[in-house]
Structure 1
Amino acid sequence: MIATKRVAVTESVWAELSDLKRPGETFSQLLEEMIEREKKARLIAHLKTIADEGDFVELPP
């Protein structure tokens, strides 16, 4: 059984989400996709920070 939760959003956020939603797509599907994109973006940003600021040592062959 799938649990259903409600998330309060402003009218303007609801309108923006509605505009992003494709025909036949549920809000849950839209949000899942947005969450995955955000996770990937955060990972890439974190890896970039490590590459830019990290102290690396050369490993012997």
Structure 2
Amino acid sequence: MTTTEFIPVSQKTYEEISDLKGPNRTFDEIIANLVEQAKKQQLENDVEAILARNRFVEI
């Protein structure tokens, strides 16, 4: 399903996303990739925080 939304961004941000896009990719693909990367980074940060606490329950 496709939804058309308007997301205001600065001219600089638009240009940077456009640079990532290139001729053969869509803005949707670029944004989806950025979201996926952000989710992976958040998971990595969460795991590192858990390991740093060094408190585990024996199972």
Relative to the length of structure 2, the TM-score reads 0.87
Instruction: Specify the structure having the higher radius of gyration (Cα).
Output: 1
Residue ranges of structure 2 left out of the alignment (5+ in a row): none
Residue ranges of structure 1 left out of the alignment (5+ in a row): none
Question: Across the two proteins, how many residue pairs are aligned to each other?
Answer: 59
Identity %: 32
Between the aligned partners of 1:57 and 1:7, the Cα distance in structure 2 is 44
What is the RMSD computed on CA atoms of the aligned residues? Answer: 1.4
Q: Which has the higher contact order (CA 8 A, sep 6+)?
A: 2
Relative to the length of structure 1, the TM-score reads 0.85
Moved over 6 A (4+): none
